Structure 1
């Protein structure tokens, strides 16, 4: 795995230190490559960064600005499209057209858009289901991009000019997609609405009219039949602080219409007003003072939208799936996860409990910052109160995991997506942590206005990372770790194979949990003891008292506003300096070795 690539230096030039850039940063450092990041703000800044860092290789994982002519044939551009695909909307068009194949191409920057010599390209089948654009970026395109980086590091082949006359150049020019190209009308079929929405989710969304307002919609799922008396666009059902169900399509002969669940909306900003932000659809509807005809009864949403699910593959195994959109765990979402786990806790035959994400979004990024900000954009007492409610609610999830462990249950947490601090540290509250290969994990809070964090990390982290200096660096340098490196450092016990999705990943989780349980029963594996109730209570008091003060501070409140309103944020200082391979001598061996 740790293939040495000498002392080569790689500079990452990117719009920001986001998903693809963090994945490339981790991937390079896993291979002991000296790696640094610099934000690509202006042409002059890019030229100065290359001069300052003197890299051997320059890679642009996500770049929306033109590369200056002075850097032509020096910067490797990551383009999410097949060989010959050009333009900024390749994935969007591919999904709206329902193309069977997608791809990823790494090419050298030169004049024009995506026209430079090709360094590496690959094609892959698109999923048959309406996977969101953000999922494609973070799974299929990310894997192909990282393979391209390995290709470059290994020195395989020379850049080849793109000859669009050749029969293997199957891509095409794609104009920038406009809203009219993927518009949603509620008279359309439910399937077409879901596909169009997925093609633009998570950004920029698809514009439509809802409750008399222009909004962008996200997190859209099939909702099943509804009474045909509802008109297309009518809200017929809702979940507290969650999704709404909208009647769509034409009335059928048996008197029904189709429907879709809409999880999130973002209002279109009025002219000469500031930016808007995504909110749970039911929260936004409530802000409009709209009459909602049917409140969710608590008996579960209709088929097609179940972000929290329980399944029982056998009489001793329970799987709780907590699929939070964008990994944001709101107060309501946390409470529902707690109730699901508490239900499992009351079942005496269950010996193994799996908590996992849905595999289509980040496993968990922690508290729901958009929802917290929406409670009071002035960042006054209502915002602070909601932040306190939210962090307390996610801690209650951790507390059920501890109770299950103290009762002798084996608790397996599966991070089947990327994770921010809230999700990464929540995973440590289980007996064993499994992460999917290729995921990026961030074990730090400080970048969000100096938050100290909670999720019992001050209780669980020392057992996995005994050296105080290592813990200090993890929490304060704000650098991401690959799932592989988190495994090497003892924060993850086992790695799930990369590339498994949907039912295949679920089947792997079931088989792993059964095999893990059998080895525990045979005492091949020793399960660590859960924290005592006394230690848990003392940790909760200490962590919450500190983070409650953080919520009242101006640093957090300013960082919250910047995050929600998508304003530029400074990348980690440590990422802007060259770092090579990791020192691993201080870390205990993970259970998987």
Structure 2
């Protein structure tokens, strides 16, 4: 298609796939606007206002009304290959252990997922990946390619695609939701592989219905236990919880054990069902369990949230500090662990430190579910929990900003949001791949001001002359941006690859070159001089104090918007309207 198109993205929520499509389509020159799927009447009104050439539905849970699809081409993104139909294609694929999958872009009709196919992409499904991780990575990449392919087949006035694509042999048709019985865990019979596959097929939503310590809950974030862990762990019958590590509980199976990292305990009274670290949700019940901790520097196959490794020769060493926090959320406990790890890293003889978050998310800042839990804990409050969490993440950023004796790199294999962006921006260099989406703003969460030293790092990155302009665009615009857009602003230093798979080896090469560079010592000296000069002009403590004064008002002040927004977010309250910064078609 040669001319720019007017496109309306219709979605149940502005999730990662929808955000990625939004950034890609706008960068391709199209006019893209968003409407959340609230009701048929709202959708009809949005189409009347936006007057789109096409409606694109990347993430829906309801039918598009006939009043829309019968008069306007509507393209639905389905996370399954052609011929697959139903709302749980990816759930079934993971549960079966499929090696191949696909994404299909098809035209909405009166039947679910049964309209003409405009484009499709096949893909390999990572072994041992969760449904959510596959969706965020492989499905999202394929969906972007398929949507762009479909747009190339659009012909104004036509009822279908120009030159429809050749299709593979079609699959067997409709698959309904996965019944709870199909992935219920029988701890007396299921081996570890079966337990992991079932949990991964429902992670991140809805989770596996089960019980721990006599309480009904949903299981998430499962990892295999190694032989070394099993040798240290207490004995126990299949299904017994025998140990803990960080956020996770070790639960015995018929042939070993699995780590259960997060759970969602059923709502009780006014306490909502929150996804929390398993050791947090069952803190009282697991106080006597042994802690099977592991060192940071260890075999990579031994699971923990944090991991450290080193590469390169003496004098040109690279340290790799990985922190894979579930869904990118960083609780006070997790921030304290990462802070302590950074302090330990200072003792290592390396020239470069690469700070690597998880494969799905680098970081999304403070942990809203953990904070919400504080509102229901005796002697605590959401405000106090928020205050502890923001102080703890500020401590992490401070460690990175003051690490002047080596070069630091933030490697973004996954998306970043809010304070997680500014954690990355605190590094000397930020590397990403083209599929990364950043949301470097705070105001979508109840008009938060933000901390993490953003008032220092943003001007430092973009330059004093552009700081006010970029801050206005980023903080007030509140829109997601691609890694390439962030690079154009100076927030990201390099987009090294097209995806996370190719980013890792490229980053390893670049980091090794940094560590071995002939001018490394000069760069370190210049970095130290700049930090000293910045500190003499305005201490980091002053930036932090000023930001926290604003945050204190958000947490403890008369305006409850942060607390309301946080509560709605963690309890999945349905949207009542589409925010105006997304619904660009609305006055």
The TM-score normalised by the length of structure 2 is 0.89
Q: Give the drift of 1:163.
A: 12
Q: Give the drift of 1:208.
A: 1.5
Cα deviations across residues 96-149 of structure 1 (Å, max 9, x unaligned)?
A: 111111100000000111000000011111112x11111111111111111122
Q: Give the drift of 1:160.
A: 8.5
Is the 8 Å Cα contact of residues 126 and 134 (structure 2) preserved in structure 1?
Answer: no
Aligned to 2:79: 80
**Aligned pairs, number:** 558
Aligned to 2:535: 532
**CA–CA distance in 1 between the matches of 2:330 and 2:178?**
31
3-state SS of paired residue (1:393)? helix
Aligned to 1:435: 432
Aligned to 2:30: 33
Cα deviations across residues 441-496 of structure 1 (Å, max 9, x unaligned)?
A: 00110111111111111001113332413311210221110112111221111113
Q: Give the drift of 1:518.
A: 4.4
Cα deviations across residues 488-514 of structure 1 (Å, max 9, x unaligned)?
A: 22111111312343xx64433221211
**CA–CA distance in 1 between the matches of 2:252 and 2:371?**
29
Distance 1:576 1:379, change over 3 A: farther
3-state SS of paired residue (2:263)? strand
3-state SS of paired residue (1:61)? strand
Q: 2:572 aligns with which of 566, 577, 582?
A: 566
Aligned to 1:591: none
Within 5 A, what are the aligned runs for 1:39-438?
39-72=36-69, 74-128=73-127, 130-155=128-153, 159=161, 168-170=169-171, 172-187=173-188, 188-224=190-226, 225=230, 229-240=235-246, 242-250=247-255, 258-269=256-267, 275-286=272-283, 289=285, 292-296=288-292, 304-314=302-312, 315=314, 316-347=317-348, 349-359=349-359, 361-377=360-376, 382-404=381-403, 406-407=404-405, 409-438=406-435
**CA–CA distance in 1 between the matches of 2:485 and 2:492?**
9
3-state SS of paired residue (1:446)? coil
Distance 1:298 1:101, change over 3 A: closer
Q: Give the drift of 1:568.
A: 2.9
Q: 1:552 aligns with which of 538, 541, 556?
A: 556
Is the 8 Å Cα contact of residues 154 and 161 (structure 2) preserved in structure 1?
Answer: no
1:456 aligns with 2:453: yes
Return 5+ residue gaps in structure 1 as ranges. 251-257, 580-593
**CA–CA distance in 2 between the matches of 1:96 and 1:42?**
32
Distance 1:291 1:460, change over 3 A: closer
3-state SS of paired residue (2:84)? coil
**CA–CA distance in 2 between the matches of 1:35 and 1:429?**
32
Is the 8 Å Cα contact of residues 85 and 114 (structure 2) preserved in structure 1?
Answer: yes
**CA–CA distance in 2 between the matches of 1:275 and 1:104?**
35
**CA–CA distance in 2 between the matches of 1:293 and 1:327?**
27
**CA–CA distance in 2 between the matches of 1:167 and 1:268?**
43
**CA–CA distance in 2 between the matches of 1:9 and 1:435?**
29
**CA–CA distance in 1 between the matches of 2:411 and 2:578?**
28
Aligned to 2:490: 490
3-state SS of paired residue (2:381)? helix
1:11 aligns with 2:8: yes
Distance 1:380 1:78, change over 3 A: farther
Return 5+ residue gaps in structure 2 as ranges. none
Distance 1:68 1:378, change over 3 A: farther
**CA–CA distance in 2 between the matches of 1:378 and 1:524?**
52
The TM-score normalised by the length of structure 1 is 0.88
